[in-house]
Structure 1
Amino acid sequence: MSQTSKRTAPRVGVVGLGAMGMGSALALHERGLTVTGCDVSPSAREAFVAKGGNSVASPAELADCEVVVLLVVNGEQVEQVLFGEHGLVGKLAAGSLVIQCATVAPSQARGLGERLAAEGLAMLDAPVSGGAAKAHSGDLSVMASGDAAAFDKAQPVLDAMAATVYRLGDSAGVGSSMKLVNQLLAGVHIATAAEAMALGIRMGLDPDTVYEVITHSAGNSWMFENRVPHILEGDYTPLSAVDIFVKDLNIVHQTGRELAMPTPVAASALQQFTAAKGAGFGREDDAAVIKVYQRLSGIALPEAANDADAGGDA
């Protein structure tokens, strides 16, 4: 991907230097944009500065940015970043653009778009998918909605962040609606992959063999293929945490209630993730939802190599 000229590109702020935010901030920086990262964590700010970027501790300090990308955890954080005591609103110049990438309820996204417009600010409702590695390589998938002017202003940023940008509509809420469909499927597929592996183990099948057969059979899914290796390696280092799907499937449930639309399969998956969180696995990788089945049926899960060498428990 070609570098973007600093002379023509907007000054960009990235709020949230977690796994996804750090990756996207680095992708933007490495492609020649002037980027300032923002995070409450000093270590996250220091890590971005060490890679050549600039950093600040407060969203209000991004007042000179023309485009600000929000890659925070949830809707509450979005609210604080925009309208809190040290928020962006009232600091950004009129005509600046907010690219809102966090997974939030479509109703919240619509409300944010209306409130920002009343302040003279534009918004692109632009949830992302792809994970930390694709964020850093600039290969995210972006599900975006907003008016043509917002897309035009966002173009240099989207070119650096994403391999694919879906233009889904001209108003906020459409992008978040599409992301919710994705998260429903992703959460259900992870919970189902965990249940399938637990059943196989309980029936005495070798876990590695289950993985080999299923990934070459009709029952495979992208999530099965991606998450089951975490189970096989006994490695629950959080690439995407259980807590994320407790949040996102709750948004699915909330949106279903708003629409009087039942989502029973998603509700069942939500219960499994909630059980995993309640058992203390909320900050572990989302594949740790299989540990609910371990607690219920006593199955022996694969151990990490160092745990096995030390004779530790799974």
Structure 2
Amino acid sequence: MSMTSPSPLNVSIIGLGAMGSGMARSLLRSPAIASLSAFDLNLSALEYFYNEAGGKAPCKYIDIAKEAKSRLDSYIDKDTDVVVLALLNEDQCESIIFTDGPPHHSSLVTLLKPGAVIVVTSTVSPSWAISANERLQSHEKKLKFVDAPISGGAARAASGELTILPSGDEATLDEIDSIFQAMGKEIHRIQGGVGKGATVKVIHQILAGVHVVVAAEALAMAAKAGLEVQQFYDIVKGAAGNSWMFGDRGRRMMDKEKEVKSALDIMVKDLDIVCKEAKRLGMPVPLSSMALQQFMGGVGIGLGRQDDSNVVQVYEMLGGVSVSGCASAAAKEGDGVGDYWVLPDGTKETIVEVADEDRHNVVISNEYTRVLKVKFPPKDTTWAHRHAEDSLYFFLVEDGLNVINHVKGSDPKCDCMEFGEVRYGTHKTDKPLVHKITNMSEVDMFCIDAEVLKSPPVTCPMPLVAEHHELIKTRDKCRVYKLTLEPGQSVNVSYPFFYLSVVLKGSEIKISLGTEPHAVTWKKCASIGDEEWCSPAVNISIENVGETCYEQFIAEWR
């Protein structure tokens, strides 16, 4: 559900860790934010944020060199409408909401105006969320509380593509929906009031934690059995036993150098909440309990602040085996998945399949195509990844895109893509494109990557000739047309082929399928980047009933 706030909001975000800093950058890009301030007790994180964003609308200008940096009242004032908390745990949330005094000096209850909203995105226990809401409601200021746990990792936080699970009073959720739209791609309102969002996240963490531990257990047993661990990993990736966590954490378990993407301590905290909530409910959770003990073993050997994939070291110690380093030991320099690329600075980076690269998200997958939506913030760089299928690329950055393209075997080169530019790349298994992309623009990179896998059973020998359709690209495997409709214009057309639809410029459109009196008609609000795989169809009527120009790519599979 998407609602529009009646007016732009004055927002503050507290917590500038991996998730909070990305969320802050997503909020900075939103027209629904009138002003944004940020606070963190980590002064280096605070200074980095304001040095990068300070003074650029809608970020509030705060001269942190002159302010008392660790005082919350330097960043929160009587105009603040919403405070978003992206903190480690509920103890930190409890302190900053309710407790005056060090380290932050003034609490949110003291500083905020009556009726302001506090949004907690941290993983907290449902019972604490309910208690916090009750205390805020009984306070004279009647502060509003929303628990809105998040999932998706730091890269998706920065690109505004988190999964968010808000729960609370419906009117309050409507009031601040624009904040969720700025930070998230999938917004699932959880019915039942405050605490239900936290409940969903807690139960989700059962799967997350158990999957990480099971991945470590399987890889350690493979090593103990004398298997080539990298080969075993590759086999599971294409088999029924695979999971997203196995693919992501398993690869990191085999790497010696592990960037901390999610600390092991956090998984201990989350699974501890799971076990306590399960006890309160009278629900046995033996797998969660065992997974918690394995992570606790990691804390016991000093791994708490390291990446949670390091839980594999517990199994390595117990089994007398080595999983860490198996990827680099088995890998060779080359162009295959799992091979490494020696970068110009001499470092080695493991090559991943394009769909395993964090910023490439599969949105359509069938025997004819696999479509990936690519979105990431300025100055961010993808992992080294491999394209091995012919692909159409639709570039959707309205002011144009500037990147540095690091292609394996070539020097890095600057490249520019215009809004609506369509490119076709010829990539083969034996001649793949292996590259990294750095976004040098001041806005998010936004691209649709559509792999052309197979010719469908119905094709058309001749190009489409239809009003308002322009043929803009022809290749052996596909043709691309651009449909343009000004407000009030319409077209009647038949598409005698399978095709991929990608919206370039959105508007409200009315679609009718079939002929009267049996036609089926519906309206939809199309947005830039909307994609759909379509079967052949006849007698389609498309009318632009909105107030802006509508443009759509029709990519015909031949």
Question: When the two structures are superposed, what TM-score results if normalisation uses the length of structure 1?
Answer: 0.92
Q: Secondary structure at the match of 2:305?
A: coil
* Equivalent of residue 91 in structure 1, options 95, 104, 111: 111
1:75 aligns with 2:76: no
Q: Secondary structure at the match of 1:89?
A: helix
1:97 maps to a residue whose letter is V
Q: Distance in 2 between matches of 1:205 and 1:35?
A: 53
Aligned to 1:62: 76
Structure 1 residues not aligned, in runs of 5+: 307-314
Q: Distance in 1 between matches of 2:15 and 2:221?
A: 38
1:114 aligns with 2:134: yes
Say whether the 8 Å CA contact 1:15–1:59 is kept in structure 2: no
* Deviates further, 162-171 or 207-216: 162-171
Residue 52 of structure 1 and its aligned partner are, at CA, apart by 1.2
Q: Distance in 1 between matches of 2:72 and 2:181?
A: 23
Aligned to 2:310: 288
Residue 62 of structure 1 and its aligned partner are, at CA, apart by 1.1
Q: Distance in 1 between matches of 2:219 and 2:16?
A: 34
Q: Distance in 2 between matches of 1:285 and 1:206?
A: 24
- Map 1:295-306 → 2, pairs under 5 A: 295-303=317-325
Aligned to 1:154: 176
Aligned to 1:13: 12
Q: Distance in 1 between matches of 2:153 and 2:25?
A: 14
1:12 maps to a residue whose letter is V
Q: Secondary structure at the match of 1:46?
A: helix
Q: Distance in 2 between matches of 1:171 and 1:94?
A: 21
1:30 maps to a residue whose letter is R
Aligned to 1:126: 148
Say whether the 8 Å CA contact 1:39–1:58 is kept in structure 2: no
Say whether the 8 Å CA contact 1:148–1:170 is kept in structure 2: no
Q: Secondary structure at the match of 2:300?
A: helix
Say whether the 8 Å CA contact 1:16–1:70 is kept in structure 2: yes
* Deviates further, 24-33 or 48-57: 48-57
Q: Distance in 1 between matches of 2:243 and 2:211?
A: 7
Say whether the 8 Å CA contact 1:234–1:301 is kept in structure 2: no
* Deviates further, 9-18 or 111-120: 111-120
Q: Secondary structure at the match of 1:302?
A: coil
**Any runs of at least 4 consecutive aligned residues in structure 1 with deviations exceeding 6 A, and if so which?**
none
Q: Secondary structure at the match of 2:306?
A: coil
Aligned to 1:257: 279
Question: 1:142-192 CA distances to partner (integer Å, 9 max, x unpaired)?
Answer: 111111221122112111000011111242110000000111110000011
Say whether the 8 Å CA contact 1:109–1:172 is kept in structure 2: yes
Q: Distance in 1 between matches of 2:223 and 2:71?
A: 48
Compared with structure 1, are the counterparts of its residues 83 and 297 closer, same or farther at alpha carbon in structure 2 (3 Å cutoff)? same
Q: Distance in 2 between matches of 1:152 and 1:272?
A: 41
Please provide the CA RMSD for this pair.
2.0
* Equivalent of residue 203 in structure 2, options 164, 175, 181: 181
Aligned to 1:231: 253
Say which structure, 1 or 2, has more relative contact order (CA 8 Å, 6+ apart).
1
Aligned to 1:48: 49
Q: Secondary structure at the match of 1:163?
A: strand
1:35 aligns with 2:36: yes
* Equivalent of residue 164 in structure 2, options 142, 149, 158: 142
Say whether the 8 Å CA contact 2:219–2:323 is kept in structure 1: no
Q: Distance in 1 between matches of 2:277 and 2:324?
A: 37
Question: 1:67-106 CA distances to partner (integer Å, 9 max, x unpaired)?
Answer: 0000000010000110111210021011111111111111
| Richer in strand (by share) | 2
Q: Distance in 2 between matches of 1:149 and 1:114?
A: 17
1:27 maps to a residue whose letter is S
1:71 maps to a residue whose letter is A
Compared with structure 1, are the counterparts of its residues 170 and 262 closer, same or farther at alpha carbon in structure 2 (3 Å cutoff)? closer
Q: Distance in 2 between matches of 1:48 and 1:29?
A: 11
2:181 maps to a residue whose letter is D
* Deviates further, 206-215 or 70-79: 206-215
Say whether the 8 Å CA contact 2:116–2:143 is kept in structure 1: yes
Say whether the 8 Å CA contact 2:220–2:322 is kept in structure 1: no
Which structure has the larger Rg over C-alpha atoms? 2
Aligned to 1:310: none
Q: Secondary structure at the match of 2:185?
A: strand
Q: Distance in 1 between matches of 2:7 and 2:71?
A: 26
Question: 1:12-60 CA distances to partner (integer Å, 9 max, x unpaired)?
Answer: 1001000000000111012243211110011111111122145663434
Q: Distance in 1 between matches of 2:72 and 2:296?
A: 32
1:87 maps to a residue whose letter is S
1:68 maps to a residue whose letter is V
Q: Distance in 1 between matches of 2:255 and 2:311?
A: 15
Q: Distance in 2 between matches of 1:193 and 1:170?
A: 34
Q: Distance in 2 between matches of 1:253 and 1:152?
A: 33
Aligned to 2:332: none
Give the % identical residues.
38
| Richer in helix (by share) | 1
* Equivalent of residue 203 in structure 1, options 225, 231, 239: 225
Q: Distance in 2 between matches of 1:247 and 1:302?
A: 25
